[in-house]
């Protein structure tokens, strides 16, 4: 399935039905009173968050959401039917913005609803306007127009842990190792073109969700390599794992790799630099013991927890996962 994480849609609620002007016409009742019914309400357009959706692809191909109008009132005090509304399901974590780009809703939990456009109220029939001085009103209300807007929907992946790093740092391999997710894995940059989610189970009752964020490059926060779109998925996480390739062949050292990622995080949102994070030295079994010790010493200068692993062989994975689980549990205890 194609991963779509932002769409622009036109939403239009239904108009309310007009009230009816009508009078009783019955045998032997020459002067029947007014009996015009009310118009029906226009349908709403509503978004509902659900865990069954992972992408906004349904809305990508459906650019207009137009609800039905309410029916007009009728004689004999018969009211018009309400217009049928539209309910769209969106992934948990969908942010809704108005035409100016201001956030108006954040659907961040299962079943959360937001009315994208409200249907118009139905008009009152002439039966409502009878009084002692006006016993035969010959007017009724028109129905109100339904709301109509352009709305922007953006998906921010909901995950406890985000895997960040340069292309080919081994993030997808790690996700495949620790969860049932099966991301595409290859030896060329930008194999992963969309965030991938995986559930890590530490025991029968405990676990957490990990998101593999596509590789970031210099200038990502400015949109290079679609980095600005990838970076917004980090905002939902509670912990970042900075994966560093200890066996890189491009000449970039460990600190240089870390600093490049830190620079992109700060460029996108300076608050991301304060996010809790671990440094993960991947491909630890591909370098000598002396080189690994040097990497551990360099990484330790960042004053962050450091773990040496191999996503391929599984070395150090268990220790890393339990450290992550303990950290997340500690955050829950604090709240």
Cβ neighbour number for residue 63 with a 10 Å cutoff: 10
What average pLDDT does the chain have? Answer: 82
- Give the model's pLDDT for residue 224: 43
- Give the model's pLDDT for residue 152: 94
- The pTM of this model reads 0.68
Rounded CA-CA distance 107/90 in Å is 9
Cβ neighbour number for residue 113 with a 10 Å cutoff: 11
- Give the model's pLDDT for residue 10: 96
pLDDT tens digits for 218-269?
Answer: 543 444 444 445 566 777 788 999 888 887 656 667 777 788 888 777 776 7
- Give the model's pLDDT for residue 238: 86
Write the DSSP string, 33-67: -B-PPPPPPPPPEEEEEETT---SHHHHS--EEEP
Q: Which helix (H) or strand (E) holds 267?
A: helix 254-268
Residues in the chain with pLDDT values less than 50: 1, 186, 188-192, 217, 219-228
pLDDT tens digits for 195-228?
Answer: 677 878 876 556 788 888 775 545 434 444 444 4
Domain annotation for the chain: domains and CATH numbers: 1-155 (2.70.210.12), 161-334 (3.40.50.300)
Burial of 257 (0-12, 13-18, 19+ CB in 10 A): buried
Rounded CA-CA distance 250/167 in Å is 12
């Amino acid at each position: 399935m194609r991963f779509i994480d932002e769409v622009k849609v036109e939403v239009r609620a239904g108009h309310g039905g007009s009230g009816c002007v009508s009078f009783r016409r019955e045998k032997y009742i020459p002067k029947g009173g007014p009996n015009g019914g009310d118009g029906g309400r226009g349908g709403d357009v509503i978004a509902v968050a659900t865990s069954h959706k992972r992408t906004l692809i349904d809305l990508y191909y459906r650019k207009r959401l137009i609800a039905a109008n309410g029916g007009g009132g009728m004689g004999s005090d018969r009211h018009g039917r309400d217009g049928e509304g539209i309910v769209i399901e969106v992934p948990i974590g969908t942010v809704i913005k108005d035409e100016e780009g201001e956030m108006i809703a954040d659907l961040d939990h299962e079943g959360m609803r937001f009315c994208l456009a409200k249907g118009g109220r139905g008009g009152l029939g002439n039966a409502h306007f009878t009084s002692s001085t006006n016993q035969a009103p010959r007017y009724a209300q028109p129905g109100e127009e339904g709301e109509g807007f352009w709305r922007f929907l953006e998906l921010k992946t909901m995950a406890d842990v985000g895997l960040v790093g340069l292309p080919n740092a081994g993030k997808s391999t790690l996700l495949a190792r620790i969860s049932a997710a099966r991301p595409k894995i290859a030896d060329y940059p930008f194999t992963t073109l969309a965030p991938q989610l995986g559930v890590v189970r530490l025991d029968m009752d405990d676990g957490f969700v990990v998101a593999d964020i596509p590789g970031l490059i210099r200038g990502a926060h400015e949109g290079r390599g679609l980095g600005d779109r990838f970076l917004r998925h980090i905002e939902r996480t509670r912990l970042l794992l900075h994966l560093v390739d200890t066996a890189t062949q491009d000449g970039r050292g460990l600190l240089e790799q870390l600093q490049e990622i830190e620079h992109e995080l700060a460029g996108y949102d300076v608050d991301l630099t304060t996010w809790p994070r671990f440094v993960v030295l991947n491909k630890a079994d591909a370098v000598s013991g002396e080189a690994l010790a040097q990497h551990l010493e360099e990484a330790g200068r960042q004053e962050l927890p450091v773990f040496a692993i191999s996503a391929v062989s599984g070395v150090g994975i268990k220790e890393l996962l339990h450290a992550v689980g303990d950290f997340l549990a500690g955050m829950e205890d604090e709240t």
